């Protein structure tokens, strides 16, 4: 109940960011975000039901590019 889990990725280690949205999710502006790193062959982290997933992806990519 009070436990917490935290996983951190370095922005330059991120290989791909995938967004999955159903038709209804696109209407309400939420989606699932999968982040793959260079250290793993499959998606190493998935965040479900995140608001504005395209904005989050763009923010991560901006950080990765060092802007």
Quick one: pLDDT band at residue 1, thresholds 50, 70, 90? confident
Nearest to 29 by CA among 51, 49, 10: 51
Count up the domains in the chain and report the number.
1
Give the up-direction half-sphere exposure of residue 31: CA atoms within 13 A in the CB hemisphere.
Answer: 18
Q: Is residue 6 part of a domain?
A: no
Q: Is residue 30 part of a domain?
A: yes
Q: What is the mean pLDDT of residues 20-41?
A: 89
Q: What is the mean pLDDT of residues 25-29?
A: 95
Domain that holds residue 43: 11-64
């Amino acid at each position: 109940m009070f436990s917490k889990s935290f996983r951190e990725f370095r922005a330059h280690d991120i290989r791909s960011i995938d967004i999955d949205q159903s038709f209804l999710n696109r209407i309400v502006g939420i989606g699932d975000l999968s982040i793959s790193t260079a250290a793993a062959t499959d998606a190493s982290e998935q965040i479900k039901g995140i608001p504005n997933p395209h904005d989050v992806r763009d923010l991560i990519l901006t950080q990765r590019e060092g802007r």
